[in-house]
A and B are shown apart, each in its own frame.
Chain A
Amino acid sequence: MSDKNWQGITRRDFVIKGTVATAGLAAASVLVPAQFAIGAQAKVKVGILLPYTGTYAKLGTNIRDAMMLRFAEDGNMLGGRPIEFVDIDSEAKPAKAQQLTNKLIKKENVDFLVGPVHSVVGMAMVKTARGDGPITVIPNAGANQLTGVLCAPNIFRTSFSSYQMGYPGGPAMVEDGHKRVVLMYWNYGFGKQVAAAFKESFLPAGGTIVKEIPTPFPKVDFQAYLTELAALKPDAVYTFYAGGGAVKFVKDFAAAGLKDSIKLYGAGFLTEGLGAAQGDAAEGVRTILHYADTLDNPANQRFRKAFKKTTGTNADVYAVQGYDAGELILRGMNAVKGDTGARAEMIHAMETAEIDSPRGKLRFSKSHNPIHDVYLREVVKGENRVVRVAAKAQDDPAEGCSM
């Protein structure tokens, strides 16, 4: 592994060399403490590539703030070394992703890479970083490929894969008694993967897809599709929309008077962090996600309080993913006591980490994708309340990963 960091000699190298030195060359022993001192005091560079402008700006900010909160809780030290952040706005633009990743890797020589939010940016980023690049932690982007075809020892994800987002929805809806379902989603990579995973579990569970309506991404004129939905008269509709589209969809759905006759389900982003904007329209909407604000566990309560205190805003699932990204990096660095050269040991510590996350228990699969519980939630009085656990320890098949 060619580690181009300034830290030319790794700790393991030095241990071996040190042994050789003590065995033979007395002079070498003079070098030992000096190098160790440099290794311990020099800053660890954490490169952050998240969107701070455009549609995903809020997500980027929350992820960064939560991760920094986690570091701050440990005195801003990683394995005994202070941290230096190199923070870049990804603008969620795929066209610039590789260039920016290169900047972090080649110019800034970062030890860790955290990002991004956008799946396509994620693919360009992972493609550049996998293999020899820095240890990379993905705090949101959900494309299956990131821990599938593109998986690599130095790539981790603390969020979810599209598969994990969609798959638990099928049985959950059947269990709720909805068998004739229309599938509506934004017709882009992420939306398609979530929809495909949903179908994969829904059909075997005895459900029928009345019609699949992919709508152009990122457009938000849903009126024509809602009219079509009304005419199809299904039991329920399963959707994938996020951000502005989710707000608009939920409101238009309610305004079209469809709430009484068709039950609205969706991947968690449909209602996540959008309570204020959606208002009453979201009441009763059921979504599936690996987190809920109201989760009743000590880690969550502690985290939400701390996040509110430092940032002044309420934590959401993105913040949790950022917080866990921070935790994962801490685990790795603490395991090797700050020696970034001990790559294999660090990766081992990270992939075997069991984290007591605000979302519940969090482990990692062989492909470095999270394994976590997924919850069925319902909006009650503007809050996403957990109805039940939709899937225990939901894993990802990591299709195409040969790790």
Chain B
Amino acid sequence: MELSFYLVQLLNAVQYGFLLFLVASGLTLLFGIMGIINLAHGSFYMLGSYLAYWLTGVTGNLWLGILLGLPITLMVGYLVERFAISFLYKRDHLYQVLLTFALILIFNELQQILWGSDVHSVAIPSLLAGSFQLTENQSYPVYRLFISAACIAIACGMYWVIQKTRLGMTIRAGASNREMVQALGINVNRLFAFVFSLGVALAGFAGMLAAPVDSVYPGMGENVLIISFVVVVIGGTGSIKGAFVGAMLIGLVSTFGKVLVPEMASVMVYALMAVILLWRPQGLFGRAA
């Protein structure tokens, strides 16, 4: 294989990494700031995809669909936080695992009831429908580049919010010392409800963006869920930077794993995680426990 082949694969890897980052960043926020393990994160990704499918169908436009869908995901996040998650902050992780596991069952059924079990797809907006020539016979869809660009924008946006704004400072403080934030007189309940909704919206947004390139089908959330967890744990819980590096690593390992050691492709990702945790039990950018 010539060099261009590997370059194109690199592009694939990075693009996959960006999408993973988008899902995993929401997860790591919840992990790091609220200490919540959210197994239902994949379900929110699925919710986003189905909302994109449904609302694009209704409005005839993906952008409008996303615009209408985001508030819905925020609201779903808020309701889930208020009526379920908020009871668990002081409890063992065990109960979070179980509760969010039950949420998966519920969301899967709701999806079934609301949208049935067909496979759907969402049209790429005409503005981004083109593609450009990559090698002599392969071209690359513009929309995929757009996804990457959107992910970069969100990564930068998150970096800015977390590093430069008052909200970000509160979030960072909350991640390192919850009692302190409470002592500073910040309404932790409100902060947590907000952060959880934000995490859900991020997962939903990832699902919406991915809907036109991914198909929309039952059970799609669980494919994303486990791999996102791997990303978060590799990067170190609560670290946005870690989630980014982890997502890129997984993107690279899984893409080149498929090409170079196809029979072990699925195992590789988990092996990578095990090796990294052996070396650094708290993840690449996690604080020591």
B257 CB, nearest partner CB in chain A, Å: 9
With a cutoff of 8 Å between Cβ atoms, the chain B residues found around residue A57 in the complex are 112, 116-117, 218
Given contacts A243-B217, A255-B131, contact A279 B258 (CB under 8 A): no
Q: Which of B5, B121, B214 contacts A231 (CB 8 A)?
A: B5
Q: List 6 A-B contacts (CB under 8 A).
A: A58-B119, A220-B214, A220-B223, A224-B256, A228-B5, A276-B120
B89 CB, nearest partner CB in chain A, Å: 32
CB <8 Å contact, B131 and A258 = no
Residue of A nearest to B217 (CB): A244
Query: Is A337 part of the binding interface, using a Cβ–Cβ cutoff of 8 Å?
Result: no
CB <8 Å contact, A53 and B109 = yes
CB <8 Å contact, B213 and A255 = yes
Given contacts A214-B262, A244-B215, contact A279 B121 (CB under 8 A): yes
Residue of B nearest to A261 (CB): B137
Residue of A nearest to B117 (CB): A57
Contact surface of A with B, Cβ cutoff 8 Å: 53-58, 61, 213-216, 218-221, 223-228, 230-231, 233, 243-244, 246-248, 251-252, 255-258, 260-262, 274, 276-279
Q: A216-B265, A274-B119 are in contact. List 14 more A-B contacts (CB 8 A).
A: A54-B117, A54-B219, A55-B117, A58-B118, A223-B12, A223-B15, A224-B9, A224-B12, A224-B256, A248-B214, A257-B138, A257-B139, A276-B120, A279-B121
Query: Is B140 part of the binding interface, using a Cβ–Cβ cutoff of 8 Å?
Result: yes
B115 CB, nearest partner CB in chain A, Å: 11
CB <8 Å contact, A257 and B133 = yes
CB <8 Å contact, B140 and A256 = yes
In angstroms, Cα B220 to Cα A216, docked, is 15
With a cutoff of 8 Å between Cβ atoms, the chain A residues found around residue B258 in the complex are 215, 224-225
In angstroms, Cα B112 to Cα A61, docked, is 12
Query: Is B281 part of the binding interface, using a Cβ–Cβ cutoff of 8 Å?
Result: no
With a cutoff of 8 Å between Cβ atoms, the chain A residues found around residue B189 in the complex are none
With a cutoff of 8 Å between Cβ atoms, the chain B residues found around residue A224 in the complex are 9, 12-13, 254-256, 258-259
B25 CB, nearest partner CB in chain A, Å: 19
| Residue in B120, B219, B262 whose Cβ sees the most chain A Cβ within 10 Å | B262
In angstroms, Cα B134 to Cα A53, docked, is 41
Q: Which of A53, A214, A252, A257 contacts B213 (CB 8 A)?
A: A252
Residue of A nearest to B109 (CB): A53
What 5 A-B pairs come out closest when comparing CB atoms? A257-B139, A57-B117, A244-B217, A230-B138, A247-B215
In angstroms, Cα B131 to Cα A294, docked, is 33
With a cutoff of 8 Å between Cβ atoms, the chain B residues found around residue A225 in the complex are 258
With a cutoff of 8 Å between Cβ atoms, the chain B residues found around residue A58 in the complex are 116-119
Given contacts A257-B133, A261-B137, A278-B121, contact A55 B12 (CB under 8 A): no
Query: Is B135 part of the binding interface, using a Cβ–Cβ cutoff of 8 Å?
Result: yes
Given contacts A220-B223, A227-B138, A255-B141, contact A53 B121 (CB under 8 A): no
Query: Is B8 part of the binding interface, using a Cβ–Cβ cutoff of 8 Å?
Result: yes
CB <8 Å contact, B121 and A227 = no
Query: Is B1 part of the binding interface, using a Cβ–Cβ cutoff of 8 Å?
Result: yes
CB <8 Å contact, A277 and B139 = no
In angstroms, Cα B112 to Cα A218, docked, is 19
Q: Which of B8, B133, B215, B217 contacts A227 (CB 8 A)?
A: B8
| Residue in B13, B121, B134, B214 whose Cβ sees the most chain A Cβ within 10 Å | B121
Query: Is B123 part of the binding interface, using a Cβ–Cβ cutoff of 8 Å?
Result: yes
| Residue in A218, A244, A248 whose Cβ sees the most chain B Cβ within 10 Å | A244
Q: Which of A213, A231, A233, A243 contacts B262 (CB 8 A)?
A: A213
Contact surface of B with A, Cβ cutoff 8 Å: 1-2, 5, 8-9, 12-13, 15-16, 108-109, 112, 116-121, 123, 131, 133-135, 137-141, 143-144, 213-215, 217-220, 223, 254-256, 258-259, 262, 265-266
CB <8 Å contact, A221 and B16 = yes
With a cutoff of 8 Å between Cβ atoms, the chain A residues found around residue B117 in the complex are 53-58, 61
In angstroms, Cα B259 to Cα A226, docked, is 10
Given contacts A255-B141, A257-B133, A257-B138, contact A55 B219 (CB under 8 A): yes
A262 CB, nearest partner CB in chain B, Å: 7
CB <8 Å contact, B12 and A227 = yes
| Residue in B13, B15, B214, B256 whose Cβ sees the most chain A Cβ within 10 Å | B214
In angstroms, Cα B138 to Cα A262, docked, is 10
In angstroms, Cα B219 to Cα A244, docked, is 10
CB <8 Å contact, A54 and B215 = no
In angstroms, Cα B53 to Cα A10, docked, is 56
| Residue in A214, A218, A219, A262 whose Cβ sees the most chain B Cβ within 10 Å | A219
With a cutoff of 8 Å between Cβ atoms, the chain B residues found around residue A223 in the complex are 12, 15-16, 255
Q: Which of A53, A56, A243, A276 contacts B112 (CB 8 A)?
A: A53
A211 CB, nearest partner CB in chain B, Å: 10
| Residue in B217, B218, B219 whose Cβ sees the most chain A Cβ within 10 Å | B217
Residue of B nearest to A53 (CB): B112
Residue of B nearest to A246 (CB): B119
With a cutoff of 8 Å between Cβ atoms, the chain B residues found around residue A257 in the complex are 131, 133-134, 137-140
With a cutoff of 8 Å between Cβ atoms, the chain A residues found around residue B131 in the complex are 255, 257
With a cutoff of 8 Å between Cβ atoms, the chain B residues found around residue A243 in the complex are 119, 217
In angstroms, Cα B12 to Cα A274, docked, is 26
B80 CB, nearest partner CB in chain A, Å: 22
With a cutoff of 8 Å between Cβ atoms, the chain A residues found around residue B262 in the complex are 213-214
In angstroms, Cα B121 to Cα A246, docked, is 12
